[in-house]
């Protein structure tokens, strides 16, 4: 995504997205896709609370994502991630919410099934891989699974088919955060009482 205004977002709406009002939105996609940035912008637009699942996970574990990977390995991280997701889903009530998932969370079958059963709206933020890679290298955040460019591309190719199972897909290429959040807001069936 650009840091300035881009063209209209390309939103594809699969038939399985119901016309009933959306109250909970889960943003999914690869590392560096802009899930947190778009989530915060959408939260401001709608006045809905925003949560990054990684923040909840770190709070529960008392360690950063990087520390969990380094000290306990990926399997332990995935277990902790699933536990944090289940806790979050159990807490959902009638109030609206926006949640950003980590890059690998939606790929885990158990997590995807939890989200399907919870009947929340999942949105895949789909950007150009070269732009995502550049963004990851510019950010001060250590990403345990980034690896070199070839590993990065391979991981993306493995994960993308899972992301495509989200209820919505929005192309973020050449668009800024506000443009993506605005198009997403206009495209979601949101109850009148939940609109600003």
Q: Which residues pair with 108 in a beta bridge?
A: none
Per-residue pLDDT tens digits for 179-189: 999 989 888 88
How many Cβ atoms from other residues are within 10 Å of residue 73's Cβ?
Answer: 11
The domain limits of the chain are 10-189
Measured distance CA(40)–CA(144) in Å, rounded: 23
CATH number for the domain running over 10-189: 3.40.50.300
Query: Which contiguous run of DSSP H or E holds residue 51?
Result: strand 50-52
Per-residue pLDDT tens digits for 48-107: 999 999 999 999 999 998 899 889 988 999 999 999 999 999 999 989 999 999 999 999
Measured distance CA(67)–CA(114) in Å, rounded: 26
What 3-state DSSP class applies to 46?
helix
Measured distance CA(17)–CA(124) in Å, rounded: 13
What's the chain's average pLDDT?
Answer: 83
Q: What is the pTM of this model?
A: 0.84
Is-contact 167 175, C-beta < 8 A? no
List CB contacts of 97: < 8 A, sequence separation 6 or more. Answer: 23, 24, 25, 48, 49, 50, 51
């Amino acid at each position: 995504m650009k840091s300035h205004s881009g063209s209209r977002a390309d939103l594809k709406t699969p038939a399985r997205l119901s016309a009933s009002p959306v109250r909970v939105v889960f943003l999914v996609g690869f590392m560096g896709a802009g899930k947190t940035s778009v989530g915060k912008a959408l939260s401001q637009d709608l006045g809905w609370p925003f949560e990054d699942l990684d923040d909840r996970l770190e709070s529960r574990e008392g360690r950063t994502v990087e520390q969990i990977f380094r000290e306990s390995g990926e399997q332990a991280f995935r277990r902790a991630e699933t536990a944090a997701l289940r806790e979050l889903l159990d807490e959902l009530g009638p109030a609206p919410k926006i949640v950003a998932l980590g890059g690998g969370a939606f790929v885990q079958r158990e997590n995807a099934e939890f989200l399907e059963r919870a009947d929340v709206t999942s949105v895949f933020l789909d950007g150009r891989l070269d732009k995502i890679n550049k963004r990851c290298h510019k950010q001060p955040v250590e990403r345990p699974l980034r690896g070199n460019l070839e590993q990065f591309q391979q991981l993306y190719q493995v994960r993308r088919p899972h992301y495509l199972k989200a209820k919505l897909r929005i192309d973020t290429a050449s668009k800024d955060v506000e443009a993506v959040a605005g198009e997403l807001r206009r495209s979601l069936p949101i109850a009148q009482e939940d609109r600003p």
